């Protein structure tokens, strides 16, 4: 992994001539994303993210923390005990520079289950890290094992059905092979291209079914304006 996303975050944090990130998926053309967006404050966040942060309580784990904006808000404004993790070394360096006290390079699947949490956050399409529908159970089981009694997993995603053409009867022509929310993602930054990686968007019903199959309750907390939603999973 070239860690281009992390490089962009660290460049922005250290004022090292940051440029826009180019992202492309298997069902959409290249799109420019300003790195500044990852450094947004609470008032600049979408309503679903704000709602997730409002619901956060107790000891918090922020999974895939990126530039650390969610963790920073909870640590500094809510005085919560936050652990932030990301697989990107550069992103973690940026988080440290921003003042996040407990941030480390880690994959959620490798975390020690002795250390449990009251709130686990997976935001900015939190289901993305599952990669594929087949891998979802493995991640849900791991997340479940990291929850304290009475704990919660707050996760957001989108139903990508809107990306597919509809016929006259309103039925969508979705690919016959695999689940339509299974995408591949490519990131480009400063002329370099990251290896393509799988990224999963889950519609709410599919997430709910997966949660129940893995011994978790699932509640729809809020819906956004564009087929996106925030869900809460509990024991």
Total domains present in the chain = 1
Answer yes or no: is 229 within a domain: yes
- Cβ-contact 129, 63 below 8 angstroms: yes
pLDDT of 177 reads 77
Answer yes or no: is 43 within a domain: yes
Q: Give this prediction's pTM.
A: 0.96
pLDDT of 165 reads 72
Predicted confidence (pLDDT) per residue in 75-100, tens digit: 999 999 999 999 999 999 999 999 99
CATH of the domain at 31: 3.40.50.150
- Distance separating alpha carbons of residues 36 and 91, to the nearest angstrom: 13
Answer yes or no: is 47 within a domain: yes
- Cβ-contact 201, 181 below 8 angstroms: yes
Answer yes or no: is 129 within a domain: yes
Answer yes or no: is 132 within a domain: yes
- Distance separating alpha carbons of residues 223 and 235, to the nearest angstrom: 22
Higher pLDDT, 171 or 187: 187
Helices 204-213 & 136-145 angle (0-180, nearest 10): 60
Q: Which residue range is the domain that position 97 belongs to? A: 4-11+19-163+175-234
Indicate the DSSP class of residue 146: T
- Cβ-contact 89, 5 below 8 angstroms: no
Answer yes or no: is 153 within a domain: yes
Answer yes or no: is 169 within a domain: no
Predicted confidence (pLDDT) per residue in 116-156, tens digit: 999 999 999 999 999 999 999 999 999 999 999 999 999 99
| Average pLDDT over all residues of the chain | 96
State yes or no: pLDDT of 170 exceeds 70.
no
φ/ψ of residue 165, rounded to 5: -65, 145
- Distance separating alpha carbons of residues 156 and 38, to the nearest angstrom: 16
Measured at the CA of 217, the angle between CA 211 and CA 221, to 5 degrees, comes to 100
Answer yes or no: is 213 within a domain: yes
């Amino acid at each position: 992994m070239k860690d281009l996303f992390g490089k962009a975050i660290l460049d922005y944090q250290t004022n090292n001539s940051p440029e826009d990130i180019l992202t492309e998926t298997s069902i959409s053309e290249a799109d420019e994303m300003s790195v500044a967006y990852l450094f947004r404050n609470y008032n600049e966040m979408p309503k679903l993210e704000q709602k997730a942060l409002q619901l956060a309580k107790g000891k918090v784990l922020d999974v895939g923390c990126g530039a650390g904006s969610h963790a920073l808000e909870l640590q500094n404004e809510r005085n919560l005990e936050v652990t932030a993790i990301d697989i990107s070394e550069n992103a973690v360096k940026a988080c440290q520079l921003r003042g996040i006290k407990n941030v480390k390079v880690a994959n959620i699947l490798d975390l020690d289950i002795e250390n449990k949490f009251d709130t686990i956050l997976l935001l900015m399409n939190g289901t993305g890290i599952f990669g594929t529908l087949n891998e979802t159970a493995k991640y849900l089981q791991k997340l479940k094992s990291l929850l304290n009694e009475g704990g919660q997993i707050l996760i957001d995603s989108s139903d990508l059905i809107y990306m597919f053409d509809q016929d006259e009867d309103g039925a969508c022509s979705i690919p016959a092979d695999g689940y339509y929310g299974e995408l591949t993602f490519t990131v480009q930054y400063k002329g370099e291209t990251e290896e393509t990686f799988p990224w999963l968007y889950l519609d709410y019903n599919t997430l709910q079914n997966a949660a129940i199959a893995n011994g978790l309750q699932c509640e729809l907390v809020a819906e956004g304006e564009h087929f996106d939603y925030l869900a809460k999973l509990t024991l």
